[in-house]
Structure 1
Amino acid sequence: MCGLVGILAAQADVTPGHALLERMNVVQFHRGPDDDGQHQEPGIALGHRRLAIIDLAGGRQPLANADGSVLTVYNGEIYNFPELMRELQACGHHFRTHCDTEVIVHAWEEWGEACVEHFRGMFAFAIWDRKRQTLFLARDRLGIKPLHYARLPDGRWLFASEIKSLLTCPELPRDLDPKAVEEYFAYGYVPDPRSIFAAIRKLPPGHTLSLQPGTEDARPRPYWDLQFAASSPASTQAAQDELRARLHEAVDIRMVSEVPLGAFLSGGVDSSAVVATMSQLSEDPVNACSIGFGDPRFNESDHARAVAGRVGARHFLDQVDVDRMQLIDPLAQLYDEPFADSSALPTYELSRLTRQHVTVALSGDGGDETLTGYRRYRGFRQEERLRGLLPGGLRRPLFGTLAALYPKADWAPRAFRAKATFQALARDAVEGYLRSVTVVDDASRARLFSPRFRRELQGYAASEVLHAHAARAPREEPLDFVQYLDLKTWLPGDILTKVDRASMAHGLEVRVPILDHPFVEWAATLPANLRLHQGEGKYLLKRAFEQDLPHDVLYRRKQGFVMPIADWFRGPLRDTLRQAVLGERLADSGWFNPERLRQLVDEHQSGRSDHSRPLWALLMFESFLRQRVDVPAERIA
């Protein structure tokens, strides 16, 4: 795992400056502590930080082809590189190393922009082709690895694994994008392709971008999309057997490493299935690492311990308590833009623990999105069926009126919280889905933002992100629809961003076998009843691993990797919260309604309501503003 940076000159005969490239590269030291490399020539400058995993001696970057006319810098792992190497050798290509990086330059020579369609793995890379005077940027299909880019006012293009590298350029405008702020408070992250900075974009998953010196505008090109097409297996048992075989192969190719290897083990179904599979493939006990919490309501460590004992793994456990909240500011620095998933903190600590024992870890990320593990999928499917019973012209006023009349009852048992259900039924499918994932819902954001900031938005709403993806999403089966939206937004924007930044902060490579794209494509062909069966999510995965894992691990209620922040905000973090949310930074920005900020804090700390999610989002946003930007509100772009 590595970090890449680069500068494309505005004129082909100009060599970009060394000083900027050096600054861009050095701030990503954490992504590649083993080595660094740079290359400059007329038109281009490339930089790289390396975390050595395969071919420790021969994989230094930037790496060139035989005549030096094609160079690449690359972050990731291409797991089918041995097969591609043999295929390219048969086409006449000669290799000097045994690393996957060299496959990229020869694949470019052989297939051009279509090279990405041959790669199986996680990757973000840049290719400079001197003869074509072309810079080619690419990101893997599901967005496991990040890639950011920006065009400077003088015509240069910058690109990097992390935003912090781009921000080392003093000519890059720092103005914030109000649409990104709206999206952040809706989703808890800024979805691709936007970033919190108006001048910086993220290359979306499954896209490429071609640039040349002097290019003024460029649009990313998609090369992959997930197609849902249900097919009936011969039997449930046959589907279970195929799932096990496919996961076995996806795990197996991710266990190739020349450095110590281990796994994240949360005690949930996905990571437990991965660790069980690793144990079957390994002659030695698997190094499995877990994080627990002192509060038993949030602690899964007993389940992780049970799994480790069952499969014979070597188990390492650490605990996160309120004293680790001192990491709030370091986390804000790490993510470069506001990021409101509170599980980023235990993920950071899990990565720190894991790096003490191994350099590469496998995780179970992607199982919920691929095999329908979230409880919201069941609710969305039920709501969508009810929406289908009435035409929108009748449904919206009927359930809208019921929602207005029914009292809000967050304190009541779930069965009596009908207001939210009525609100969902009054909406269309996209707005109903957004309600199920939002951090601050539409009405609450309207109260949270100041009138001035709402004018800056010019009518823009965060739901437009989902509507854009929904235009390409399958509609016949509600599960297909909602999984597609998650795979395009929540998975790359939250889950994979969280793990990439937290792990790379410690020089740890994390591999995700459940997001092997052939496995994901196969899972999209499973009938809905094998993904969600009688209300049981991940039904087929659980059935497939009944012989390997404890029953109560497979079939207990999903818990999630969350912290007791609601209680901490009323107790040990009471003053920290008040100082941040009611302090000068948010007030002076001019973006928020001060009365609403105080109301959120007072209602939560009095116990009248649970506002922990919006308050955490505000806490992280305040930390971001305090550390990353120093711009008055009138400079919002």
Structure 2
Amino acid sequence: MCGIAGIFHCGTIKPVDPARVERMCDALAHRGPDGSGVWTAPGVGLGHRRLSIIDIAGSPQPMHSADERHVISFNGEIYNFRALRRELEGLGAEFRTDGDTEVILAAYQRWGTDCLSRLHGMFAFAIYDRKDRTLFLARDRFGVKPLFMAMLSDGSMAFASELKGLLAHPLLRREVDPRAIEDYMTWGYVPDHSSILRGVEKLPAGHFRLLKHDAAPADPQQYWDISFAERRKGKPRDLEAELLHHLREAVTSRMVSDVPLGAFLSGGVDSSSVVAMMAEASRDPVRTCSIGFDVAAVDETSHAAKVAQLFGTDHVSREVGSDQFDAIDDIAAMFDEPFADASALPTWRVCQLARENVTVALSGDGADEAMAGYRRQVFHHHEERARRLLPAQLREKVIGPLAQAWPKADWAPRPLRAKSTLQALAGTGPQAYALALGTVPPAIRASLYGEDFRRQIGDYRAEHALEKVMRDAPARSGLDAAQYADLKFWLPGDILTKVDRTSMSVSLEAREPLLDHRLVEFAASLPEGLRVKGKQGKWLLKKAMERYLPADILYRSKQGFVTPIAEWLRGPLQGQTRAIAASSALARTGWFDRAQLSRIAEAHISGRSDHSRLLWQLIMLDKSLSRLGIAT
């Protein structure tokens, strides 16, 4: 795991200052504390920061091919590199190192851009061809590893693993994109199709980009996509066995490491399944770690301890207090762009704990998206059935107005809290799912924005991008489209961003075996009844794991990392809560109606309402603006 950065001149060839590339890499030092390197040639510069995992002493970067034609800077891991190496050796390739970096170079020399279909892993890399004078940028299928890009005023394109790498370049404009604010206020993060800064792009997951010195920058090209359009046939028991086969392959392929390796263990289905497969494949006790909370209602350490005991792992656990509010500045610094998923804080803490004992940790991320594990997916599945039964005119003319009139009664018993369900049934499936996934509904956002800001964003609405993803999805049902949207939109923008930044901040490599693309492709082909059954999601995974895990692990209610932000905003962060409307960087932008922000803040502080999620988003936006010094 590493950090990469570089500069490439498009349409012309100018010298590249090595010191400039070095400064970009220095901003990424946390991603690679074990080594660094910079290589430049006319019109191009590649930089690298290394966290040594495979072939610790033998694979420095940027790395040249044996014939010196190609140069690579690579971030990630290729899990099938040994099999690829054998295949390439049979075709005449010779290798000087024992790692995966040189295998990527040889694969590109043999197969060109088609090499991407052969790489199993997580990656972002840049390969420069000194003969053809082209730059090849690529990102893995799901976007586990990030890659930011920006065209600069001197005609060059700069790229880096994190935005802070680009921010180290003096020519990067720090001008906010108003549409990114609308995106952030909708989702709680800035999705991959957007960026907080004008002119900055993220290479989409499953895409590559070819750049030439004598041409304008070409658009990214897609090399892989997940399809839900086919249905696997077979007896449930046979499909269960096939799922277990893919799961074993995914986990064992990610256990290759020349440094200490372990796993995050929350005690939930996903991380417990990963640990079960690791224990089955390992002669030595698996190293596991978990974080507990001093609030019993959200503490899962007893479940993690039970799984650890079941598989005889070398387990460590630590309790995190509910007074972690002083760490929010550190969180803002990690992400560069505003990021309001409050579980980033405990995720960071478990990464810190893991790094005390290991350099690589396997996680359970990805199963909810791939196998329908989120409650919202299960609800959407059932809503789609109801939507098909209700005539369109009834939904539009009766249910729609009823949803508008129904009070938002969060205080009432659950059967009376029907507003969101009525809104979902009144709209289309994509519209309903966008509302379910969003954090701040359109009407509330509209009430927050100032008049000038509303003019800046015009008719742009953040939900439209997700709705389009669902409408265009290679899918046969509403559940398919929802899972596709989660994999393409939510996963890279929120979950993978969270894990990448928090793990890399402590120089820990996190691997996601449940995002093995062969496993996900298999899961996407399962009949809906083997993904969702009644109120249970991830049905086939749970059935398959019954031979390994007890029922109270497999079928208990889903929990997640919870942070007591409502209490913080009424207590120790009360001053920051009030400052949002008065003296903060955010207040000075003029984007929001200060009086409305003040009313929301005071209602929360007094306890009349719970606006914690919205206020947390605003505070994290404020901290990002302050740190980046973004011009408005």
Give the TM-score range, shorter chain: over 0.9
| CA apart distance, 1:548 | 1.7
| CA apart distance, 1:344 | 0.5
User: What is aligned with 1:590?
Assistant: 590
User: What is aligned with 1:69?
Assistant: 69
**SS of the residue 2:285 aligns to:** coil
Q: Give the paired residue count.
A: 632
Q: Matches of residues 497-536 of structure 1 in structure 2 within 5 Å?
A: 497-536=497-536
Cα distance between partner residues in 1 of 2:415 and 2:66: 67
Kindly provide the amino acid, as one letter, of the partner of residue 52 in structure 1. S
Q: Matches of residues 195-594 of structure 1 in structure 2 within 5 Å?
A: 195-580=195-580, 582-594=582-594
Contact 1:155 1:216 survives alignment (8 Å): no
| CA apart distance, 1:82 | 0.9
| CA apart distance, 1:228 | 1.2
Q: Could you give the per-residue CA deviations for residues 457-491 of structure 1, whole angstroms, max 9, x where no partner exists?
A: 02100012213312421453221110000001110
Q: Could you give the per-residue CA deviations for residues 419-440 of structure 1, whole angstroms, max 9, x where no partner exists?
A: 1111112222221011111111
Cα distance between partner residues in 2 of 1:215 and 1:451: 41
User: What is aligned with 2:147?
Assistant: 147
Cα distance between partner residues in 2 of 1:431 and 1:468: 10
**SS of the residue 1:126 aligns to:** strand
- Range with greater deviation from structure 2 (486-495 or 428-437): 428-437
Contact 2:228 2:475 survives alignment (8 Å): no
**SS of the residue 2:546 aligns to:** coil
User: What is aligned with 1:603?
Assistant: 603
Kindly provide the amino acid, as one letter, of the partner of residue 251 in structure 2. V
Cα distance between partner residues in 2 of 1:407 and 1:334: 39
Q: 1:582 and 1:317, CA in 2 relative to 1: closer, same or farther beyond 3 A?
A: farther
User: What is aligned with 1:81?
Assistant: 81
Q: 1:630 and 1:109, CA in 2 relative to 1: closer, same or farther beyond 3 A?
A: closer
Kindly provide the amino acid, as one letter, of the partner of residue 180 in structure 1. A
Q: Could you give the per-residue CA deviations for residues 392-444 of structure 1, whole angstroms, max 9, x where no partner exists?
A: 44422321210122221011122211111111122222210111111111111
Q: Could you give the per-residue CA deviations for residues 265-321 of structure 1, whole angstroms, max 9, x where no partner exists?
A: 111110011011111111111111111111112111111111111111111112222
| CA apart distance, 1:391 | 4.3
Q: Could you give the per-residue CA deviations for residues 607-632 of structure 1, whole angstroms, max 9, x where no partner exists?
A: 3332221111111001111111242x
Cα distance between partner residues in 2 of 1:423 and 1:164: 40
Kindly provide the amino acid, as one letter, of the partner of residue 70 in structure 2. V
Kindly provide the amino acid, as one letter, of the partner of residue 147 in structure 2. L
User: What is aligned with 2:45?
Assistant: 45
| CA apart distance, 1:354 | 0.4
Cα distance between partner residues in 1 of 2:208 and 2:340: 28
Contact 2:134 2:210 survives alignment (8 Å): yes
Cα distance between partner residues in 2 of 1:628 and 1:138: 27
Kindly provide the amino acid, as one letter, of the partner of residue 500 in structure 1. D
**SS of the residue 1:184 aligns to:** helix
User: What is aligned with 1:99?
Assistant: 99
User: What is aligned with 2:108?
Assistant: 108
Contact 2:339 2:620 survives alignment (8 Å): yes
Q: 1:427 and 1:231, CA in 2 relative to 1: closer, same or farther beyond 3 A?
A: closer
Contact 2:266 2:291 survives alignment (8 Å): yes
Cα distance between partner residues in 1 of 2:372 and 2:616: 27
Cα distance between partner residues in 1 of 2:521 and 2:68: 37
| CA apart distance, 1:11 | 6.1
Which structure 2 segments of 5+ residues have no match? none
Contact 1:288 1:313 survives alignment (8 Å): yes
**SS of the residue 1:456 aligns to:** helix
| CA apart distance, 1:194 | 1.6
| CA apart distance, 1:251 | 0.5
Cα distance between partner residues in 2 of 1:115 and 1:68: 19
C-alpha RMSD of the superposition? 1.5
Kindly provide the amino acid, as one letter, of the partner of residue 532 in structure 1. V
Cα distance between partner residues in 2 of 1:131 and 1:378: 53
Contact 2:2 2:50 survives alignment (8 Å): yes
User: What is aligned with 1:179?
Assistant: 179
User: What is aligned with 2:191?
Assistant: 191
Contact 1:126 1:138 survives alignment (8 Å): yes
Contact 2:228 2:476 survives alignment (8 Å): no
- Range with greater deviation from structure 2 (304-313 or 337-346): 304-313
| CA apart distance, 1:258 | 0.6
**SS of the residue 1:388 aligns to:** helix
Kindly provide the amino acid, as one letter, of the partner of residue 594 in structure 1. R
Cα distance between partner residues in 1 of 2:554 and 2:413: 25
Q: Could you give the per-residue CA deviations for residues 160-184 of structure 1, whole angstroms, max 9, x where no partner exists?
A: 1001010111211111111111001
Which structure 1 segments of 5+ residues have no match? none
Kindly provide the amino acid, as one letter, of the partner of residue 78 in structure 1. I
Kindly provide the amino acid, as one letter, of the partner of residue 447 in structure 2. R
**SS of the residue 2:468 aligns to:** helix
User: What is aligned with 1:125?
Assistant: 125
Contact 2:276 2:548 survives alignment (8 Å): yes
Contact 1:581 1:619 survives alignment (8 Å): no
Cα distance between partner residues in 2 of 1:539 and 1:605: 42
- Range with greater deviation from structure 2 (350-359 or 419-428): 419-428
Contact 2:179 2:460 survives alignment (8 Å): yes
Cα distance between partner residues in 2 of 1:612 and 1:13: 51
Cα distance between partner residues in 2 of 1:557 and 1:186: 27
Q: Could you give the per-residue CA deviations for residues 323-351 of structure 1, whole angstroms, max 9, x where no partner exists?
A: 32211111111101000100011111111
User: What is aligned with 1:31?
Assistant: 31
- Range with greater deviation from structure 2 (408-417 or 516-525): 408-417
Cα distance between partner residues in 1 of 2:338 and 2:566: 20
**SS of the residue 1:357 aligns to:** coil
**SS of the residue 1:322 aligns to:** coil
Q: Could you give the per-residue CA deviations for residues 205-264 of structure 1, whole angstroms, max 9, x where no partner exists?
A: 000011112543421100011111443543222222222221111110110111000001
Cα distance between partner residues in 1 of 2:234 and 2:192: 39
Contact 2:580 2:587 survives alignment (8 Å): no
| CA apart distance, 1:135 | 0.5
- Range with greater deviation from structure 2 (493-502 or 435-444): 435-444
| CA apart distance, 1:369 | 0.4
Contact 1:298 1:564 survives alignment (8 Å): no
Kindly provide the amino acid, as one letter, of the partner of residue 169 in structure 1. H
| TM-score normalised by length of structure 1 | 0.97
Cα distance between partner residues in 1 of 2:583 and 2:544: 52
Kindly provide the amino acid, as one letter, of the partner of residue 195 in structure 1. S
Contact 2:13 2:213 survives alignment (8 Å): no
Contact 1:155 1:214 survives alignment (8 Å): no
Q: 1:340 and 1:581, CA in 2 relative to 1: closer, same or farther beyond 3 A?
A: farther
Q: Could you give the per-residue CA deviations for residues 517-564 of structure 1, whole angstroms, max 9, x where no partner exists?
A: 010001111111111112211111111112222321111111112212
- Range with greater deviation from structure 2 (479-488 or 592-601): 592-601
| TM-score normalised by length of structure 2 | 0.97
Q: 1:502 and 1:430, CA in 2 relative to 1: closer, same or farther beyond 3 A?
A: same
Kindly provide the amino acid, as one letter, of the partner of residue 138 in structure 1. A
